[in-house]
Structure 1
């Protein structure tokens, strides 16, 4: 009878160990799936945030380019206006600037 009890206990321990292995495997699969889901969610969030940051940078760059373009247009218009006001003086100044650059380049 004692041998039978030992055998039964041994079988019970084997079954408990098998059940424990199965439970650990299920837990591992559940944790893996959960982590995959978290990683996928984080990847989507990072992708969305990086796209938003890129859009903001693009908008700021476009705004800066437009401001620079407007400033350049205003400068050109101002120079044209001054040349129209005093054409002779503008020609003389351009001639003197050319002479000065020519002298500097001769060295």
Structure 2
């Protein structure tokens, strides 16, 4: 009779261990799914930030290009308005650079 109780308890213990094993496997799958979802969300946030940074860089490059073109146009206009002064300034700058390079 004691052997029968012991056998029943062992069977119950085996069944409980099987349930625990199944619960642990289910928990591992759930944690894996949650980690995958979080990684995907993080990737999406990084992608959005990279896209925003690219847009800002493009706007900055366009602004710099526009300012550069405006500066060149203003310089050309000043040269056209004062051609002799421009030639003398260019000659002076060339002379100074030539002297510096001779050393």
Q: Same fold (TM over 0.5)?
A: yes
- 1:65 corresponding residue in structure 2: 65
Q: Aligned equivalents of 1:16 and 1:62: distance in 2? A: 69
TM-score, normalised by the number of residues in structure 2: 0.81
Distance 1:74 1:20, change over 3 A: same
Larger radius of gyration: 1
Q: Which residue of 2 aligns with 1:54?
A: 54
In the other structure, the counterpart of 1:31 is: 31
Q: 1:73 to 1:66 in 2, by over 3 A?
A: same
| Number of residue-to-residue matches in the alignment | 102
1:82 and 2:94 are equivalent in the alignment: no
Partner of residue 11, structure 1: 11
Per-residue deviation, residues 77-104 of structure 1 (Å, max 9, x unmatched): 1111111xxx5x766x38x65x948x85
Coordinate RMSD, CA, aligned: 2.7
**Which runs of at least 4 in structure 1 moved beyond 4 Å after TM superposition?**
103-107
SS at 2:6's partner residue? helix
TM-score by length of 1: 0.79
The CA distance in 2 between the partners of 1:49 and 1:74, in whole Å, is 37
Partner of 1:43: 43
- Could you tell me which runs of 5 or more consecutive residues in structure 1 were left unpaired when the two chains were aligned: none
